[in-house]
Amino acid sequence: MELIAILLFVSILVLILYGYPVALTLGGLSVLYAVCFVDPVNYSALPPRIMGIMTNYVLIAVPLFIFMGIMLERSGLAESLLETMAILFGSVKGGLAISVVIVGALLAASTGIVGATVVTMGLISLPTMLKRGYQAELATGTIAASGTLGQIIPPSVVLVLLGSVLNVSVGDLFRAAVVPGLILVMAYVLYILVIARLKPALAPVIPIEEIRKFKGEGFALRLLKAFVLPLLLIAAVLGSIFTGIASPTEAAGVGAMGAILLTIVQGKFNIEVLKEVMQQTTLLTSMVFVILIGATVFSFVFRQLEGDLYLVELIQTSDLSPKMFIFLVMLVVFIAGFFIDFIEIIFIVVPIVAPIFTTLGIDLVWIGILLAVNLQTSFLTPPFGFSLFYLKGVAPKSITTQQMYRGIIPFLIIQAAVLLLIVLFPNIIRLV
């Protein structure tokens, strides 16, 4: 029976790699295995699990955060933020690239949706950076890396889903992710400052005349609309969670309403925009929950086949230390990130290894942050990094795939260094 459980896991991965729909593969193949190998008496335990997902209060945060992210994308906030930040850092070498990183971090803290952030930043900032003489490799690498900050900087949909699967507090994950996220942002900025200092031609400064012109009449109001208001939204969402005033789900509701108000302030709100945002939110939410239901069926069948007990026994008999097991899991997640989406990894791999982490007495909040950073790294890794695909889709034809691959390598090294830092100093996640 244990070998049948492993065969179920392998066959699902194979079918997904062949391109079959994830939700239907997870649920459908698991049902077939259940009919063939699971005692029908146990079937009655499955419907309550599925209803438990549909009535899970924490998971209501998912559609609300998705709504918030898409609404902010429609608000034109990213464009205003980038223009303002570029001028504020205009006299600094590499200032435009630094502004892209900071705007990426702010959008991550406002939206938590990687694809939307990368596409938005690519459309807005890449032509500007190229026009101002930035090296294509530095420009594309900065945008792709900054766009994936939504994986780790709260409020992150990834962290909400990880909290649900690992059965830990989403608020604890948000709090634990703050310092690693800030370290990552500071590391990106430091790299840009160093490379711009060593090779000024790669990242030219903005002409002083242009800075003076932008800082003319109405600059204070533009600064307020572009910079202060998003910070207030972030403070309202994260502050209410960290101070215990609101749960992550309630804070997500605050964020969704705040995104609507910001869009109104930007003058971009109308019924058509609201309709489009609601349609996209429904589509993405449905996709997440259908995959989640399929993953629940898979997890149920896998445990009925005693696959989880077999893995625990395998780890115990192989004399693997907890650190070596963590390394193996992170390696599997990293490699899986080349081929399948982060949602699929969270719902296929994590439920299998989570009980083993619990058995080994490992802190699941720490594991959640390691997984989030790892998944973020897999978004950037050539040749299958999803962020690179997103950016390539909106980049000018003059930008080659090879340039994007070369540009992302320094940021991958930074990611790996930060991941190692979290491994070596676990207390980093307890600083907030």
R_g of the chain computed on alpha carbons: 22
Domains of the chain by residue range: 2-430
> What is the number of helices (H) and of strands (E) in the chain?
22, 0
Q: Where are the beta strands (DSSP E) in 287-382?
A: none
Q: What is the pLDDT of residues 243-275, one digit of tens each?
A: 888 887 888 888 889 889 988 988 888 999 999
Instruction: Report helix, strand or coil for 117.
Output: helix
pLDDT (0 to 100) of residue 183 = 94
Q: Which whole number is the average pLDDT over 173-202?
A: 92
Of 63-77, 352-366, 413-427, give the lowest mean pLDDT range. Answer: 63-77
Q: What is the pLDDT of residues 181-192, one digit of tens each?
A: 999 999 999 999
Q: How far is CA 250 from CA 44, 56, 64, 171, 258, in A?
A: 33, 13, 9, 11, 12
Q: Do residues 57 and 249 lie in contact, with contact meaning Cβ atoms separated by under 8 Å?
A: yes
Looking at every residue in the chain, the average pLDDT score rounds to 82
Cα separation, 20 vs 117, in Å, equals: 27
Q: Do residues 148 and 411 lie in contact, with contact meaning Cβ atoms separated by under 8 Å?
A: no
pTM given for the model: 0.76
Instruction: Give the closest residue to 419 by CA, choosing from 300, 289, 331.
Output: 331
Cα separation, 181 vs 159, in Å, equals: 12
Tokens of 148: 């994936």
